[in-house]
Structure 1
Amino acid sequence: MNTKPNKKYQKIVLAYSGGLDTSVLIPWLKENYGCEVIAVSGNVGQASELEGLEEKALKTGASKLYIEDLTKEFVDDYIIPTIQAGATYEQYLLGTSFARPLIAKRIVEIAKAEGADAICHGCTGKGNDQVRFELAIKAFAPDMDIIAPWRFWELNSREKEIAYAEEHQIPLKINKETNYSKDKNLWHLSHEGLDLEDPANEAPINVEGFLELGVSPQQAPDEPTEITIHFENGKPTALNGETMDSVALIEALNKVGGANGIGILDIVENRLVGMKSRGVYETPGGTILYAAHNKLEEITLDKETKHYKELVALKFGELVYNGLWYTPLRKALSAFVDETQKTVTGDVKLKLYKGNIIPCSVTSPYSLYSAGMATFDEDDCYDQADSAGFINLFGLPIKVRALQDQMLSEQTGNHFPDVE
């Protein structure tokens, strides 16, 4: 149930990031609903963005702020399963998409513990996040009221929100001139709005201060960086021979990838709500992990499994993007993916150079690649004469059709068909 300010509540739990939308929401909710506001922020690796958050939330009227460290759960239960699936959405590596269901689940848990009447989020009525938050809330608290002010409030532009914040002395890290809409977590950083709204405008990736997780390819070092990633059952477990915790490994890859201009994506994507939207994404570590994982699957998965898994990856990516993480289909697809990962163990060596990821080597104890089979030199494990019978059988439908067309052409004088 979505509600406007014609209903009063005793206690509302707010999904709080400290950004523009949620900063103005605390006083706005108190003014319009006459309620206690409890803020909840999910730490999914946004680091410095959490500094001073509690003081800010309390000063603007929240009764308390929960800062929940969800980073490890985010990586192990959401990021890695998505990497294993090879799932993307129109090239986008789903950085915001799979963070929202996790945060929403924790918000529901706190709302229940606090005895809250409603949950509020600051997502716009044009975006994808409103769907991701609310579908997760419905999955865990189907009877909970949901308040989404962007659908009906008077602060229907970011300029009006900034003016409201200034009137209520709410400190902001942005102003009207630097008002990019950003989302940051351990996995990525997204940039939207302002000049990026016009696809005719080049993204300012070479402008100082725009990129935060790395540098542009033009500004990257002139010498390549070599790295080796080890996987166990499709999960990255070591970097350059050093066993690492999953969070630390992504942090390390973000650093080396960012320094080499890796993982900058500028796309116009198709939003769930139907419109196209332009965004610039920084995903340095994630881009490396996807490339390495795919390289390892090249030698550890058989043809039929790998090809079918690509179909699964497409659907998996759509489910994640559309906020359908907590659904039977996503769980079923993950079960399939888990089965495919049992042999995805080995080492992948990559060279990072000015935005490029260059494969160097891949090894696995479960490799299906046979040098003896594939060699162009003389071998004793493959009789090349066998290929003639294979081609005769494989091409039989084509031959039968051609003979039929030839017979019809002779009978009618017409040419059947034009096969070129």
Structure 2
Amino acid sequence: MLPLYQYETHPIPSGAGELRNLELQGAHSGLWFERFFNQYNAEYKVEADAKKIFLESLTGHLGQGRCGADARLKAAYFRQKSLVQACQGRSLLLHSEGHFATGLGNPHPIENGFLFHPTLAVPYLPGSGVKGLVRSWLERQLGQDEGAKNLFHRLFGSDDKDPKEVIEETGTGEIIFFDALPFKPIELLLDTMTPHAGGWYQKGGGAEAREAANQPADWHDPNPVCFLAARNCLLHFSFAPRVQQGDTAQLLQLVAKALEQALTHAGAGAKTGAGYGSFRCLSDKEQEEVTRLDRQQETALAEQQEAQKLAQLSPQAQRVEALRKLSELPQNQNAGSGAGFFSQLTATLEEGVDWAKADKQALYQLGKAYQRHVSKKKEKDYKALLNALGVDSA
């Protein structure tokens, strides 16, 4: 866990204490947490206050910090949403009620791990965790009869979670579960648990269980243990069918309902028994923000597709398309107020005589459609320009 890479060109410090001079300084929070623990003493041991000091490098001395770049998270959200829509899947956005912890069981020098996304540098819930959450909830609701097992086999690829029972099965479930990613930056905070009965957990099942020090009693002093948690998490949950079948819509509806119920009633991540990981549906204000961003993205995608389409046209065809858009503006649909546009159009009609046949045809169709907006005084000259193109009106 020591950052001693490239030691051929970077001398190893004489004492581990010198590593404490390293600072996060806006780097990837997940890499910092998982690979750059810098609180070993000179004997490479972790002192009592070292865990808190290290976590404060992520949360700040006030115990609160933020991680994740908003632009990158929005881009990841739109990418995943587009993928799910292309697969005809479903998405849910839910907000955490309180604290959220993920990956606490991962190995780490502070004894409590934390799971960061490898590229987005934010806490997240892997797709495997979302899948397990849905399955656990459905098992509570449906039990383990033959019908339920057949459903589990279809959804998850097996009707039993026991490896001994599913080792011969080679099928995959019909539903793909994607990683639950944050929609916006997340607040990191320093949290604390205070276990009282360490002796009971270590020796309660052995011969020393009757000793007072190993009894799960209230007279023991608490042992504060700090760990990393998150709050204000707005996560994007999504899933999609692997293949489309006759009842796929019903399966997706079942999964969506089970996922929402599991998140709002049971919770996701670690320490759900202590109230962590509970989620709620979005408030009206939050939903309005998401809807507004979705519309902006749809508009941006439409403009991008239009730009790509235009880029494939000839320069003359691009001019015709630009004139077509200008002709649709209300102020350009009469000869009086649209004098500037009318001048551009007539000048282009004069140049169009030397254009390629296809571009000339497109220009003629535009000019013909706009003819109804031309004043009686200029109509004769305008018709002459159209006829000069030499294009069949049919």
**Does the pair score TM above 0.5?**
no
TM-score (norm 1): 0.23
Q: Which has the higher helix share?
A: 2
Larger radius of gyration between Structure 1 and Structure 2? 2
TM-score (norm 2): 0.24
Q: Which has the higher strand share?
A: 1
